[in-house]
Structure 1
Amino acid sequence: MAVKYTKHFLDKLENLFSSSEYILRYEKGNFKSGYCLLKDTRIVIINKYFPLEGKINALIDILGELQFDPKDFKDKSSQDFLIELQQTTLKF
């Protein structure tokens, strides 16, 4: 799957996180993006000043680390999208 650096693609990634048990937040600051477990709350934080390409790359990297199971998602389109993303490798 080719990664498309568009707002629509970012929206699809955000919807994937909203369907999961993680909370996606955009915060300002001088930090790299990541995820954490805070008092049993799973949070993914993305630097809001990243350009569109940076936000998408960070979310794809985090998805790779978290290793979501497509079966955990109720929506078939989310399952298919996650399967495609898991087969994607970013080339820098």
Structure 2
Amino acid sequence: MQIKFTKSFLDKLENIFASSEYILRYEKGNFKSGYCILKDNKVVVVNKYYTLDGKINTLIEIIKELNFNPQDFGDKKIQDLLIELQQTVLKL
């Protein structure tokens, strides 16, 4: 999958979190990896000062770490995006 570093693509990634049980928040902080996952509270906090590219790469990394099951989502577009993201390898 070709990752597009656009606001539209960022919105699609944010929609995955909006449709899941996790809450996505952009906050300032001194995160060593750029994000923090509070699994007990199901909150994902991303450094709000990240660039658009950084936010997209971070959200993809988090989505892979959380192992979302595409079948748990009712929206077909989200299911397809998750399947594609699971097959994507980030090259930094």
Normalised by the length of structure 1, the TM-score is 0.93
* 1:5-44 matched pairs, under 5 angstroms: 5-31=5-31, 32-38=34-40, 41-44=41-44
Q: Which amino acid aligns with 2:53?
A: E
Q: CA deviation at 1:29?
A: 2.1
Indicate the percent of aligned positions where both proteins have the same amino acid.
62
Bigger proportion of residues as strand = 1
SS at match of 1:25: strand
Query: Partners of 1:64 and 1:2 in 2: how far apart?
Result: 16
Give SS of 1:91's match: coil
Q: 2:50, 2:4 → 1: CA distance?
A: 16
Letter of the aligned partner of 1:56 in structure 2?
I
Q: Distance in 2 between matches of 1:62 and 1:71?
A: 18
1:53-75 Cα distance to aligned partner (Å, 9 max, x none): 00001100011111100000011
> How many positions carry a matched residue from both structures?
90
Question: Which stretches of structure 1, 4 residues or more, deviate above 3 A after TM superposition?
Answer: none
Shift of 1:37: 2.1
Correspondence 1:79 to 2:79: yes
Asked whether the equivalents of residues 34 and 62 of structure 1 are also in contact (C-alpha less than 8 Å), the reply is no
Partner of 1:48: 48
Q: Cα RMSD (Å) of the superposition?
A: 0.9
